[in-house]
Amino acid sequence: MNTTRLLLKNKKLFTLLTVLLSFIFSLVLFVLLVNINISKIEIRSASKFHNYNIYQISDDLIGEREIEFFKDVKNYDILNDFNNGVFKNSKVVFYNAVSQQIGLKEYPPDKKFSAYYEWGSNNDIYEYEGELYQTTKSIQVTKSVFDYNIVELMEGQPFDDSAYVYVAGRKEIPVILGSDYRPYYKLNDQLEIHYYFEKFIGRVVGFAKENSSIFTNLEPQQVLNRYILLPSMSLSEQPTKLLQKTDVDEVFFRALLLSKMGGHLMTNLNALEVRKEIGEIEKATNFTDYQIIGANSLSVDLLYKMIDANQTHIFTISGVVFIFILCAFYLFVKSFIKRQFDTYLVFIMSGVANHKIKKNIQLEFSILNGMSIGLALLCTVLFMQDISIISILIIAGFLVWLLFNVVVYMLVNNLLATTNVIEKLKGD
């Protein structure tokens, strides 16, 4: 150990360069692994959509046409039958993730949860029945949203099947909050919400992991951090029966029914086949005020290609950096050992065995590399949003440490084996 301390003494530049090279190499590797993990999740999620043709179903009930349609209460049942027919069709997957602002009473003080925050508007507080609510970001989702996106929860659980059905007299709705809500609420907290002109209690059943994202009607990758997720509810009975059983305003049922008409149809069928399937439902229910918007998979394909291209760029850049740093490390160590050869000769003249010189040189580099790799790992973990791959990073760090030790071992053995120590001691 005394020999090692002597080798390290008065070599500040050497120490700094060794630590710096090992640190940069390790940090690039760790960042690469983190990005690969993120890209793998994104590709896995996007690929589920990439394998389907995606169409959007939309209603033609706009303005006066909507008012006329809902004047006849029987039309509520017709629209409900049409929605159920589309939802239950085995040849398509009905997918709906639609942004729907809700009112939130006793809202967090941070304005970023406001529905209009990104637009710079402060007009987000309103009064309803003598109480103040904040217009808040929210997305209502069907069960298929969890089936076709990688939405991991840091706490709690997804909605159960009963959450997606509205029954007469229901006053509680389960909600999943984005990660930014975590400082303000906990599991099973009850939020007072104003949803489609009705008051409900939103019971917190889960928190989405930071930067979880889903494909929505407007965005191919909507980050959920600031959003409240609500289940997109179907009706347990025909709307006409529910209206008789409850004091809920018909506007609530109208809004629920119309929200379904902005959903996506994911299928292996082509456009003509999809229109034929939906046409059969049209005949059975006598609902004709709709249209199917042609293949809407362009944004998903683009997202898939962007993620794939991003991963390729990361691999390429990281590969170049790895080769450059490894070559620099090799040349630096080789040059350093040659420069320090006179010091090693002094140790040999002092009676230090050749194998001990090798051992201490390797220990010298091993300590420095271990310190720099550990520092790089610490920096990566501190800035990581998901520590689930920390075991992979530790293994990768050990492999880097092993790689640098092998490089030093080969260089030391090669230089000592190819140098005539006797001639060096004679001064030849």
Convert the pLDDT of each residue in 137-173 to its tens digit: 999 999 999 988 878 899 999 999 999 999 998 999 9
- Whole-number Cα distances in Å, 163 to 170, 202, 251, 390: 11, 11, 20, 35
DSSP 354-381: HHHHHHHHHHHHHHHHHHHHHHHHHHHH
What integer is the mean pLDDT of 117-131?
A: 81
Residue 177 and residue 225: Cα distance in Å, rounded?
8
96-120 residue pLDDT tens = 998 889 999 988 888 889 888 877 7
Q: Where are the alpha helices (DSSP H) in 260-297?
A: 271-285
What is the C-alpha end-to-end distance of the chain, expressed in Å? 31
261: pLDDT confidence band, cut at 50, 70 and 90?
Answer: confident
Question: pTM surpassing 0.75?
Answer: no
pLDDT tens figures, 334-367? 777 766 666 666 665 565 556 666 777 778 788 8
